[in-house]
A and B are shown apart, each in its own frame.
Chain A
Amino acid sequence: MRSARRFFARLINFVTRRRDDERLREEIEEHIALQTEESIRAGISPSEARRKAVLKFGGVEGVKEEYREQRGLVFLETWLRDLSYAARMLRKSPSFTAVAILTLAVAIGANAVVFSIMNALILNPLHVPNAKTLYAIQRGDEASLSQSYPDYVDLRDRNRSLEGLAAANGAMAGLDAGGNPARVWLYEVSGNYFDVLGIQPYLGRLIHESDERGPNSAPYIVLSYAYWHNHFGDDRGVVGRVVQLNKHAFTIVGVAPPDFHGTLAFFNPDLYLPIVNVEQVEAQNQLNDRGSRWVFMTLGHLKPGVTFPQAVEDLNSIGSYLEKTYPNEDGKRTFTLARPSLYGDYLGKPMRAFMTALMLLAGLILLAACANLGTLFAARAADRSREVALRLALGASRTRILRQLFTEALLLSALGGVVGIWASAWVLRGLSAWQPFARYPIRLEVTPDANVYGVAVLLTLASGFLFGAVPVRQVLHTDPYEIVKSGSPGKVGRWMSLRDAVLVFEIAICAVLVTSSFVAVRGLARSLHSNFGFDPQNVILADTDLSMAGYTAQSAPIMQRRMIDALESVPGLQSVGLIDAAPLAAGGFNGALAFTDQTSDLRASNAAAHAYMFSISPGYFDAAGTALLSGRTFTWHDDKNAPPVAVINQEFARRVFGSVQNGVGRYFKKRDGTRVQVVGIVGDGKYTSVTEDAEPAMFVPVMQSPLTQTYLVVRSNRDAGQVVTAVRNAVHGLDSGLPLYIEPWSRAMDAPLFGPRMATLSLGVLGGMGALLSTTGIFGLAAYLVSKRKRELGIRMALGAERKEVLQAALGRAFKLLLFGSAAGLLLGILASRVLAFIVYQATPRDPVVLAGAVLAMSFVGLLATWIPAQRALSVDPLILMREE
């Protein structure tokens, strides 16, 4: 209590310090005057009396010092004094300060950005209450969250470990709210979806379990806040309005809250509607089909007190019940739990690995920056060794001097941190607003929160202490007598050793970064030039879903045939084809199990292959540029009345028939027992992503497996704009109400290439930063060495040294360090690239181009960094230098 009171009194005094000094001075004067008067009264001469009074009072300065210590906050005062001194020192060397702040800002900013993305994607992805206990049910044997609807219902009703199990499926539909029908992305959700998640409506009401009364019983729509804001202009009167969705009447019942974007971290749907109405959206009803796993994800909160293993065990007991009861519909049904935000382990695993790697690399950048500044700091401390020695000789304690140095380091890191955080907030705002694809509602909300700022501040402080600590040993070993006597900081070589080590370490880190960015870039370049199994150049894709205009699977093929006929009559188009989902462009693909002809027990576990299944028109292979290796393609006569046929790819032939040869003419069986004859074989291709391994695929005639989802594939050498117009006119001439999305195939491939591109971009940026940091690091050292040894160089030149010798004397050391560091870094980089190979496709460090590139880059860095110091060393004029001293 007493000390708290004293603290506040001192705090006040600290602010009003001047008056107190005045008061003490006055009191001392009064004291001495009174004492003097008394002595005079006792008969002592006035001057003697005053002398005695002063003696008796004691050391005035000591009292003042003690008084001041008693009065104010000493540590705060010294600290402020240190701070203003540090500020003055930094102002005195503006180029050093600018380089240091910039280096730190870049490093801290990079860390803040990476951490922010990690925070948004992995640590804190969903804005729902109690996100920590929210799990999705994942298949035990594959990274997939999808289930069939009947399985979902069984899991929902039989489990004892989850507080309700909700389901959601993503889909696309045409929404007509009076005006042009527009395509929207939506979630088909189970009735309990919002209640399981604990979401409250922003407007109106949400969907509830009581809405579900059988198929197509709940024609209700809940809008997302963003869609309501952008397309309904914040009109609060939308609740109750009836709109047309795929030509079916739906009533808008409410608007979801602004911060709710569904249960994936980056896919923001425009609206939500009950999953029981799925038939009206997708033109087919699979609510009773246990064999089709079309429900995208099922999720729920763990009950309190139920542990993760208990819940998994509970789900697996349901799984074995399902396996036993329905052996024919689906294969093994083992389950586990995973986070829904990145679709379980499907994206979660690679994303976690990638973000961890990125965070590590960003950490290395910060470490390199600290090493960089540490060496510069040590050099400055060496330059100031005279000052330090003088202060030591005058009685300053070493802690006092170290505190001064740390204050300077922390001031610098704080400035760098502020700039870095500001810059990262700017970058992150841009990232949050960025929609990489016009087609998909993909958005990454990475607005920095308290976590991000906390981490950035922590990193700032840590880096300040880290690089501030480099010159500590140097100061502790300063011998004031030696330095004051000799006038120079003694031998140059000795204190350099620690600095050398730090610099080598830094260059090694940077070489690692440069190497890994080269590995990533090479990997991307390779995957871009790999064989897709089709040629996207000069091809326009027009995609639509005929169900949006009210067609069913039965009526779709007629319309599809008419569209192709219409396009074929357009002049200038080379070939026209149709596929239900274009490879590397569509969002989802159909799959089918294939059995050998000999298999009689058609259960899933006996399948020879789980293959992609594409429904195509006869002209597709021509239009896509897919080479037919043997056999024939389809004709329009391969329809419902003809025997079932298929064209397969090489991988399919290998898996089902054991070899590619003699595949044509043979049969395989589908799940339902249909025998399908192979009529042709095409080359392997890429279907979902450029990084996938060869996958089996079968192509079937669209007339035999009709689907409403349609990609028109149009190949033409004409200008893309003209083709787009021609295609739109032709299709709308047949049905003006059909929403179409037209774009070149190469642009549609942006989506599957997005991941590898972003990975390469981020690694490239980090590599660039690494190169930049090692350049400034070596530059700092080289420039310092040259300026230190100017006199020596002058003497050498005066004595007739060659340019080469001068350069070697001046920069030999810097080059040697660069060599050591680069070699070590290259080696480490090659080792680290093994890790990278998991993330970046076809990343192999043993690629001569990568090695040569990294070596070349590091030599370039060395050349760039030593160029100016070398020029300075060569331009030393011995005459001027000699005269100076």
Chain B
Amino acid sequence: MRDAKDKTDVQQGTLALMVLKTLDVLGPLHGYGIARRIEQISGGLLAVNQGTLYPVLLKLEQEGAIASEWGASENNRRARFYKLTRTGRKMLQAETQGWEQTAAIIARFMGAKAEDLT
């Protein structure tokens, strides 16, 4: 029970970052559009359970990182469009930096050989 929850937390974190990045690069998008891009780029992260995206979107919106409004989709139907806010952009920058640092450290660690550690 506990493990499963931890996993979703991690996934939610990465998912949130991906959402921010997607919106940063592509501009305002609706939920399906975001899911689609993440699926394409991440290579299958949202291939199933696309619905999990929506609680993440809500959380980001509550935190003020993104804003949403109703608009018309490609086939002229009512759809909710999400766009990055200034707070969201700052958050993205900070988190990207954090991620890069972490990734670099982990990479160095993983690449370490026995002689480097003596």
Contact = CB atoms under 8 A, between A and B. Distances in A.
B50 A9 contact: no
A28 B78 contact: no
Nearest to B35: A31
B21 interface: no
Interface string A4-46: 0110011000000000000110111011011101000000000
Given A30-B31, A34-B32, A35-B32, A5 B64 contact: yes
A58 B32 contact: no
A333 interface: no
Top 8 A-B pairs, shortest CB-CB distance:
A58-B49, A63-B51, A9-B62, A34-B32, A66-B55, A58-B51, A70-B55, A31-B32
A27 B33 CA distance: 12
A63 B51 CA distance: 6
A23 B32 CA distance: 14
Q: What DSSP secondary structure best describes chain A's contact surface?
A: helix
B50 A31 contact: yes
Nearest to B34: A31
B51 A2 contact: no
Interface string A38-61: 000000000000000001111110
A66 B62 contact: no
B30 A30 contact: yes
A411 B83 CA distance: 46
B52 interface: yes
B52 A58 contact: yes
B46 to A, nearest CB: 9
Contacts of B62: 5-6, 9-10, 70-71
Contact of A56 (B48, B64, B73, B77): B48
Interface residue tally on A, bucketed by range: 20 to 34
B31 A59 contact: no
Contacts of A63: 51-52, 54-55
Interface residues of B, number: 24
B51 A60 contact: yes
B95 interface: no
Contacts of A59: 49, 51
Contacts of A62: 51
Contacts of A70: 55, 58-59, 62
B63 interface: yes
Interface in B49-83: 49-52, 54-55, 58-59, 61-64, 73, 75, 77-80
7 contacts: A26-B80, A33-B77, A35-B32, A56-B47, A67-B55, A70-B55, A71-B58
Contacts of B75: 34, 37
A316 to B, nearest CB: 70
Contacts of B48: 55-56, 58
Contacts of A37: 75
A5 B80 contact: no
B85 to A, nearest CB: 12
Nearest to A55: B48
A5 B63 contact: yes
Interface in A61-114: 62-63, 66-67, 69-71
A309 B102 CA distance: 66
